[in-house]
Structure 1
């Protein structure tokens, strides 16, 4: 199976199946039945049909989940996307893995408003516990953070609505906005945002909306130096620029998504970010 590669012939066959009206789930099932590796088959589907069309789960998924993946409308290759109440720039886009850098997603006033609201409620950031249920302080994450309830204020509601429009994903499929502050030297070492299936906490977490399928990191200020968002698997660094954001999606909880990412150390000044995680289903 390790010798399987995505060839032009395979891509053309997938295109033919799609043009014939076969849904992505049926094409995936046919490929698996022919002996294709599941990971490679899904990567091929995402490459040909686009990340939003590729199947995100196997048959028998829990009811209430949304098919496909969050995905901005890049079909026209337009440099600006209408996000409802704001025109958002497309700075950069990768297809596989799906990574999009947005410009001007938030105004300076919105960035300042979020940091002012969050600043009073910051505490040492935690991560999902690896050996038990709940969360824990982790040396890999040296930031302070807090969570807003979904729709907690008018400002938060406006931004959440904008995100839902931009990424074409139901508003109620999003977790509450998390705000993090990184002081000089603080970092978040490379990690994945999906919930590890083997962790003790995961079964309980998944009851509240299923797996995470995408992440949007919004920069609330511009550090003097350092603090880029790094993607080691693909050699990408995204500069933290106030009002900009980086979006990436992942169709399964597996390293094959190439969504390993982290926050490099802040070298001078502080870095503030607001993160929105999107789930398969309604987040409660």
Structure 2
């Protein structure tokens, strides 16, 4: 329709005009923009109001965001038959605790004393103030909620790291390539990590950038390398669970969707005496690059 030809003292609201309005709204143009276009084409205000007011079709509503559906394929140990021990390839690992919601499993003897000391020794000279992933920007930043020092090993960086990563992959039935590099953290007296979620919030603007490296985080494994003298438990406030940081023990938890309904809010309680060292492995939905 040629709007310029519509200009006259008698301006009926024709079916052709209604179709034009419908097409423009469907194309994403606002009512305000259409008013300006009609005014510039010579339409009178009463005709504009009639075409774009109560009689005009409403713009299409944006589709509601699809609900986040739980995943069917998830990392985790095979616990059919309630085993007391699991075969992790080069080591038998104890099953100390299981919980269904949130999905939590505590493993005993996951690492030997020598392996714990080896990770600490390799990490000690590379420690720096821990950063957190910033879902608002897609980068990393210092966060007052996290007061540890830490570092990351690259995946497969050393024979020790390779051996531990292979053990984790077998225990949790998830490919080595789908894991982030092993992170080692030191918590001095007073240090803590306030309750938080490990998944990346889909509503935050920086999440799309983060997900390019391997998709969502699906699970976390925290392994205690050194016990503090007091404090330092891993806490799950939604269910009142506290896991004591005993050397060689690991606490695994998974989250099948990025939603608080997973009840995976967790934190590192303040260390009250001594130092706590942990190694953390985050598992992604596809290969982490």
Query: By the TM > 0.5 criterion, same fold?
Result: yes
Partner SS for 1:220: strand
Q: Corresponding residue for 1:107? A: 112
Report how many aligned residue pairs link the two structures: 224
Structure 1 position 267 matched with structure 2 position 269:
no
Q: Quote the Cα distance in structure 2 between the aligned partners of 1:197 and 1:173.
A: 20
Q: Quote how far apart the aligned CAs of 1:97 are.
A: 1.4
Q: In 1, are the aligned partners of 2:154 and 2:181 still within 8 Å (CA)?
A: yes
Query: Could you give the per-residue CA deviations for residues 18-64 of structure 1, whole angstroms, max 9, x where no partner exists?
Result: xxxxxxxxxxxxxxxxxxx967xx6xxxxxxxxxxxx41xxxxxxxx
8 Å Cα contact 1:128/1:201 also seen in 2:
no
Following superposition, the deviation at residue 128 of structure 1 comes to: 1.7
Q: Do structure 1's residue 188 and structure 2's residue 193 form an aligned pair?
A: yes
1:129 Cα deviation after fit: 2.1
- Rounded Cα–Cα distance in structure 1 between residues aligned with 2:247 and 2:136: 37
- Superposed CA offset, 1:99-140 (max 9, x none): 000000000000000000000100000112254231110100
Out of 85, 96, 102, which is 1:80 matched to? Answer: 85
1:128 aligns with 2:130: no
Find out whether 1:117 has 2:122 as its counterpart.
yes
Deviations 1:152-178 (A, max 9, x none): 000000000000000001110000000
1:213 to 218, 238, 262: 218
Unaligned stretches of 5+ in structure 2?
1-65
In structure 1, how many angstroms separate the alpha carbons of the residues matched to 2:123 and 2:177?
A: 22
TM-score of the aligned structures, taking structure 2 as reference length: 0.75
- Looking at structure 2, the residues matched to 76 and 131 of structure 1 have their Cα atoms a distance apart, in angstroms, of 43
Match of 1:141 in 2: 146
CA contact (8 A) 2:188 2:276 kept: yes
User: What is the 5 A alignment of 1:155-194?
Assistant: 155-194=160-199
CA contact (8 A) 1:149 1:177 kept: yes
Q: CA deviation at 1:69?
A: 0.6
SS state of the match for residue 105, structure 2? strand
> What are the Cα deviations for residues 218-266 of structure 1, in whole angstroms up to 9, with x where unaligned?
0001110000000000110000000000000000111000000000000
- Structure 2 CA distance, aligned partners of 1:236 and 1:112? 27
2:257 and 2:248 mapped to 1: Cα distance? 29
Listed as ranges, the gaps of 5+ residues in structure 1 are: 1-36, 43-54, 57-66
Give distance in 1, aligned partners of 2:128 and 2:120: 14
**Contact in 2 for aligned 1:227/1:266 (Cα 8 Å):** yes
